[in-house]
């Protein structure tokens, strides 16, 4: 019995494992943010891109303008997202091949470990064909976020993107070039 009490005392003195706070996706994107990434289509074609974000909270809804810079020109994606006790709901409108914002499509999301998963069926910036998108967004540990995007057509994977989100160009450069 004494050994058990001693063991319990020793265990109580050990530091408790702290669990990382859940990702506050809406808080991260409030204000200005930037990103850089690469899309691989059919595991062969590579396209690099950057984006600038402007987000504002309105009555608990994040209204986020994502302004992409692609080699073929700029494109806009407008998100409206709410976090309802860990379930994320909202819409996304994406600029199509004609330069017009397509009608909004529903976005659903959930907390997934220390990150967030977002799913929707819509068009790619500058596109016109409806695709399935899944964004897996997780903290990188340096104040930036990683976004792994899978894109499907008729349920078949056709593209992947790897994106880094940051609050500034300097933070993005430091993440991409650690030690500089």
For residue 162, pLDDT over 70 is answered with: yes
Looking at 2.40.50.140, 3.40.190.10, 2.60.120.260, 2.40.128.20, the CATH number of the domain 29-176 comes to 2.40.128.20
Scan for tokens 């003195």, then name that residue. 13
Q: In which band, very low, low, confident or very high, does the pLDDT at 141 lie, cut at 50, 70 and 90?
A: confident
Mean pLDDT of 95-116: 92
For residue 86, pLDDT over 50 is answered with: yes
Scan for tokens 């009555």, then name that residue. 59
Q: In which band, very low, low, confident or very high, does the pLDDT at 44 lie, cut at 50, 70 and 90?
A: confident
Q: In which band, very low, low, confident or very high, does the pLDDT at 114 lie, cut at 50, 70 and 90?
A: confident
Q: Are 119 and 134 in contact (CB under 8 A)?
A: yes
The predicted structure's pLDDT at residue 6: 43
Tell me what percent of the residues of the chain surpass a pLDDT of 70. 85
* Residue 32 to residue 55: CA distance in whole angstroms: 6
Q: In which band, very low, low, confident or very high, does the pLDDT at 175 lie, cut at 50, 70 and 90?
A: confident
Q: In which band, very low, low, confident or very high, does the pLDDT at 1 lie, cut at 50, 70 and 90?
A: very low
Q: pTM of the predicted model, to two decimals? A: 0.83
Mean pLDDT of 130-148: 93
* Residue 116 to residue 19: CA distance in whole angstroms: 16
**Token pair for residue 139?**
């903290």
Q: In which band, very low, low, confident or very high, does the pLDDT at 39 lie, cut at 50, 70 and 90?
A: confident
């Amino acid at each position: 019995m004494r050994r058990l009490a001693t063991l319990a005392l020793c265990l109580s003195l050990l530091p408790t494992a702290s669990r990382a706070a859940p990702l506050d996706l809406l808080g991260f994107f409030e204000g200005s943010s930037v990103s850089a990434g690469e899309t691989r289509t059919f595991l062969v074609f590579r396209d690099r891109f950057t984006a600038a974000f402007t987000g504002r909270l309105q009555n608990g809804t994040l209204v986020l303008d994502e302004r992409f810079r692609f080699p073929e020109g700029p494109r806009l994606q407008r998100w409206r997202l709410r976090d309802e006790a860990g379930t994320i709901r909202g819409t996304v409108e994406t600029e199509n091949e004609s330069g017009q914002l397509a009608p909004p499509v529903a976005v659903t999301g959930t907390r997934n470990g220390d990150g967030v998963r977002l799913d929707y069926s819509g068009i790619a910036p500058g596109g016109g064909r409806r695709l399935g998108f899944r964004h897996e967004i997780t903290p990188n540990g340096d104040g930036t976020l990683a976004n792994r995007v899978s894109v499907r057509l008729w349920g078949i994977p056709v593209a992947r993107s790897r994106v880094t989100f940051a609050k500034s160009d300097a933070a993005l450069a430091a993440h991409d070039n650690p030690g500089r």
